[in-house]
Structure formats: structure tokens, C-alpha cells
Structure 1
Amino acid sequence: MRYLRYLLIPLACCAGGLAIVFGLQGLEAAWITLVLLLLEISLSFDNAVVNARVLDQLSPGQQRFFLTWGLVIPVFGVRFAGPLVMVSLAGGVGMGEALEAALRQPARYRALLELAEPRILAFGGMFLLMVFLRYFFDEAKTLHWVRPLERRLSAAGRIEALEVALALSLLLILAAMLPAELRAEVMISGVIGLVLQLLSTSLAQAFGDEEQAGARLAAGGGLVSLLYLELLDASFSLDGTIGAFAITQNLGLILTGLGLGALFIRSLTLMLSREKALDQLVYLEHGAHYAIGSLGLLMLSGIVLAQHHLHLPEWVTGLIGIVLLLLSLADSLRQRGFPRHSR
């Protein structure tokens, strides 16, 4: 029950936001917004984990500065501007024009989305798939949730760049299943998503492991601390922004759902840091990454399904991630009483 006090304000804001969406657009829109909100929370959990671990190494003044101002750019900037930028770039129009179409010209915005959809799905699907693969293809990983699978994936991590080869192979197979006029743009978009994920992760790892990074932050302070945390936080924030397109193409609902979900990041960071909750809820990060991998595969498969005029219902897509998160939470709670080496 002590965890609940950290979440009271975000819960109240979410309840108010969902009520407004329900009143303006109906039950289906409110449900989609709720799915986006829960998806954002699940995908942002690894973000909160890293923030909490780094915060433990900072001085109280640095912690307050980051929690009040340091989250503004990645949390709200990436999540609010991200979807609009994707549509703008893929559709070949200015951001103002894309926003105008989204808010006042639904038919034109729908046409822009149809043009942009294969590129958005390829970019996002590959980005999310790489997040999933790089988390589990790690030979140093010793804590496993789905042990038979994760032990094999961890052992396979000894082969350098195997996850990159697997992701690119999947992208080649996907492109071969598409009409000739779509292959080049899907390949290019997918490779860009893969490279961006590799680059963002590699830049963050250049600061060293978590203990080294924390020591550097505490020693450097000021601008160095903020720049590192902004880089790390923004790279994690991109997951939820991309994954939202697997749920819905309604920009208003995306902005609302991700915005409400983002309110939980600060509260989760505080809770994890002050209550040491990660020592008990050990599988939540696993569940979040399974959700990320599932969304990535669904986004990639959605490109092929669209060629046959098929579409997976949005609520099914979102429900998969929610179920995975709840299962990992349940297993974490069951394992709390056992010593760490028995897991």
C-alpha cells in the first residue's frame, strides 16, 4: 500500500483524462486511450528503472533538478512531437500541415497515413525488435523469467551481432513478400530504425555500466549529468512513441494516451528509487521487453497484412502487452519471498 501514495496524482489525472475522452469521442476512443496509457507505462518501465538506478548516485539537489526539469524534454517533447514528426517525414509534408490535417481534415490525414504507414511500421517494428533482441541476447544476463527460452537467448549472445543479423534477415524476408514498389522504402525505413536503436544504445553504453555512469554523473554534476540523463531518457522514450502506431492512427488519442502515461514516469522513478522496489518486482523489466518484442513483430506483420486488406484489431494488439506485463508482475510477487539465487 505504501507504493500507492506515489501514484495518486497520476491516477487522478488519468481518470480525468479518460472521462474527457469518453465524453467527447465515446467508449471505443476511451478504451484505446486506456490501452495506450497502459502500453506507455509498460514500455516506460525500463526507463524508470534506469532513471532510478542513476538517481541513487546523484546528490539530493541533482535529483530534484532532474525530477522537476530534466524529464520535460524526453517525456513530453519526444512523446508529443514524435508521432507528428513521423507522419510529417513519411508523408512528405510540413509539421504544421500534418497537424492541420490531423485536427481538421481527417480524410487528408488518413491519406497521409496510408502513404506513410509502411515506412512507419517498418521503422518502428525494427526499432522495437532490436530493443527486444538486445535485451535478451546478453551473455552476462543471469536473471531469467521464461528460463528455457531466455537461457538459450543469453547463451546465443556470445555470438557477436547475432541479433543484428536476425533482425536484418527478418526484414529481407518481409521485403520479399511485398510488392516491388514498396520493397525499397520498407527496407530503407527498417534499416534506419535498426541503426537508430543501435546508435542510441551504443551512445548510452559509452558512459560505461550503471555504476560507472553513476560515478561519473556524481563527479561531473551540472550539464554533464543532465546531458547524459536526457540522452538515455530520450532513447527509451522513443519506444512508446513508435509502439503507439501499432495501437491506433488517431493522433489525438496517441497524444492523450502517451501524455497521461508519461505522468507515471516521474512517480515510478521516485517509487523505485526510494522504496527499492526492483529488489522485489524482479521480472517486470522482462515483461516490458516481451511486450516491446511483440509490438515490433506485430508492426512488421501489419505491413504484409495491409497488402491483403487485413488489420489486427487495436484492442488485441494492446491487450497482448498488458497481459505480458501483468504476468511478469504476478510472477515477481510470487518470487518475493525466495532468495535471489533460487530464481
Structure 2
Amino acid sequence: MSSLLRYGRYVRFPLICCAFGLAAVFASHGGLSPAGLQATWITLVLLALEISLSFDNAVVNARVLEQLTPGQQRFFLSWGLVIPVFGVRFLGPLLLVSLAGGIGLGEALDAALHHPEHYHELLELAEPRILAFGGMFLLMVFLRYFLDEAKTLHWVGVLEQRLSRAGRVPSLEVALALLILMVVAWALPATLRSDVLFAGLIGLVLQILSTSLADYFGGEEAAVGRLAAQSGFASLVYLELLDASFSLDGTIGAFAITTDLGLILTGLGLGALFIRSLTVMLSREKALDHLIYLEHGAHYAIGALGLLMLTGVVIGRWGWHVPEWLSGLIGVVLLLLALGDSLRHQRRQA
């Protein structure tokens, strides 16, 4: 009972916000009318979509968040929520829609607010670039974690030991990521090839840049911790960059569920609040020190999501789409398997 109370305090605030948010949607869309019930249900679906797609993000961010002070953690939980909800999930696609559609930012904003169907069409036009950017960033996160010769803790020993030994080859993760990007671009029409290559390279360069900066300070996690000790803004930028790559696929999928921008921001925003609370819980309770394979499962889920996003770039030319439920399901299954093995390891140690 005491454990439930201890862990429950982390989700108390998100639950209250969800209750108020769903009540506001219910009341503003007609209450018990069919429109009100449908809007409330759609918001719940979007909330579940965000949580399932971003759960592995919470595990990875928790390891970085352990380096921060409680005050900086609260800053990440509160003000850090503004950027993923309004920046990544609203302004980010807006900017990409503007660039891909060859229209002004004001016109894209007008379409988002007053012509959601047209905005959805523009978003679909920008989708290959968005997926290429996010897919390459996440793929680099996955490759960098496993292609590490200093890594000694292995979950899937046969595979991870080989990957760790392969990490002795300098910049192998960059070469593999570029090879995959070239294969994806080769499968696309010539008119789209250069845009996808450019977007993918931006994702790759941003990951290399953050890694190089971390190495300069003596290790990624230690670097983030020392920077955050001077300014919470430094850690916020690092964490939000990873969050951006996770959320891009979910944002596109949300418009496939509904074109109501208010419902999208409400559902995804409430889901992001849950994920942030979970991140803080994992960090403060030092859960990753006991659940030793959970971080492995999260990175496998990251790699799967990155590959699915790049696959979506290729199959999108035929009008196909990787369903968001598949991405979420793969991530949840991998994390549950890692959690189960971590608990079994704990029992063996005991």
C-alpha cells in the first residue's frame, strides 16, 4: 500500500488535468449529444496514442533527468511541457507544412485554424520529410547506444555482444545510418529524393552534434548534468530534441484520427503530461538502477520506431501508412519483455 501511495503521487496531477481536460471537451462540444461524446472519445484515443508511442521516451529521458536537481526537474515537468505541446506538435508541423507546401507561415497557420482538411492535405505533403528527419534521429540514438565497445551490460547477449564489439570501428553508426538513408532515398521518385535526403541528414547531424558536445564535456549524461547545473535551459533543449523526434509520427497520426486542432492539442498535451510525470518518477525513484534491462528495451523500441518511420517514407509513395497502433504496440511489448526480465533478474539476485 505504501508503494502504491508513493508512486501514485506522481500521477495525481496528470489525472486531475485529464479530468478537467476531458470535462472541458465534453462540455464545449455539446455534453451528452453525439458530438460531445464523440469528441470526448477522440480525445481519450489521442491521449492513449501519445502515451503508447512515448513511453520509451520517458525511460530514456529518466536517465538524463537523474543528473538534474529537483527544481530543474520541476522546470522540465512544467515549462518543458509548453515546448512539446505547442512547439513540437503545433509549430513544428506548421513550419514543415510551410516549407513543403511552398506557402507562407501565415497561410499555413490560417489553414490549421480555419481549414483543417486543407491543413491535413498539406501535412501529408510534408510527411516524407518529417518522417525522414525523425526516423534518422531515432535510428542514430539506437545505433549509438548498442554500438559501444564500453558497454558491458547486455540484455540480448548474443546480439548485443556482437554490436558492442562492432562499436570498435570508428563512426560505424554514422555509416550504417547513411547507408539506410540512401536505400530509402533510392526507393523514392526523383522529385522527392533530394528533400528526403536533406531532412534525414538534418536529423543525423543534430544527433551527431549533441553527441559531440556531450563527448567534449566528458560523457553525454555527465555533460547534460553539468550544463543543467548552470542552466536548466541546457537540459531542456537536449530533452526536447529527443521528444521532438518521438512526437512527429504521433502528430501525423493524430490528424488521421481527427482534423480538430483543439482536440489534437488537448489529447496529445494530456498524454505528454503523463509521460513527463512518469519520467520524473523513474528518475527520482532510481527505478532504472533496479530494472536493469528497461533501458535496453526502450532503445530497441526507439530503433523499431525509427525504422518504421523510414519505412513509412517508402510506402507512402503508394498511399500506404504505418499505423500508429503498430508503433505503440511494438514499443509496449519490448518494454514489457525488458521489465519482466529485469524483475526476474532481481529475484535471482535476492
Give the count of matched residue pairs.
328
User: What residue number does 1:281 align with?
Assistant: 291
Q: Give matches, 1:1-343, under 5 Å.
A: 1=4, 2-14=6-18, 17=21, 20=25, 23-25=37-39, 27=41, 30-52=44-66, 54-55=67-68, 58=69, 63-64=70-71, 66-83=72-89, 84-92=91-99, 93-209=103-219, 212-213=222-223, 216=226, 221=229, 224-245=230-251, 247-249=253-255, 252=262, 255-264=265-274, 266-339=276-349
Give RMSD over aligned pairs: 2.9
Q: For residues 210 and 195 of structure 1, what CA distance do their matches in structure 2 show? A: 16
User: Conserved in 1, the CA contact under 8 Å of 2:48 and 2:271?
Assistant: no
Note the alpha carbon deviations across 1:266-299, whole angstroms, 9 max, x for none: 5335433443322211122122212211111111
Offset, 1:187 = 0.8
What is the TM-score normalised by the length of structure 2?
Answer: 0.82
Q: For residues 4 and 230 of structure 1, what CA distance do their matches in structure 2 show? A: 25
User: What residue number does 2:33 align with?
Assistant: none
The range that moved more, 291-300 or 330-339, is 330-339
Offset, 1:15 = 5.6
Secondary structure of the residue that 2:348 maps to in structure 1? coil
Aligned letter for 1:152?
R
Q: For residues 211 and 189 of structure 1, what CA distance do their matches in structure 2 show? A: 27
Offset, 1:203 = 2.2
Note the alpha carbon deviations across 1:294-329, whole angstroms, 9 max, x for none: 111111111221212222333223222222222222
Consecutive unaligned residues in structure 2, runs of 5 or more: 27-35
Q: For residues 323 and 284 of structure 2, what CA distance do their matches in structure 1 show? A: 39
Question: Aligned pair in 2 of structure 1 residues 312, 210: CA closer, same or farther (>3 Å)?
Answer: closer
Consecutive unaligned residues in structure 1, runs of 5 or more: none
User: Conserved in 2, the CA contact under 8 Å of 1:45 and 1:285?
Assistant: yes
Note the alpha carbon deviations across 1:142-169, whole angstroms, 9 max, x for none: 1122222111111111111111111111
Offset, 1:188 = 0.8
Secondary structure of the residue that 2:96 maps to in structure 1? helix
Q: For residues 210 and 307 of structure 1, what CA distance do their matches in structure 2 show? A: 37
What is the TM-score normalised by the length of structure 1?
Answer: 0.83
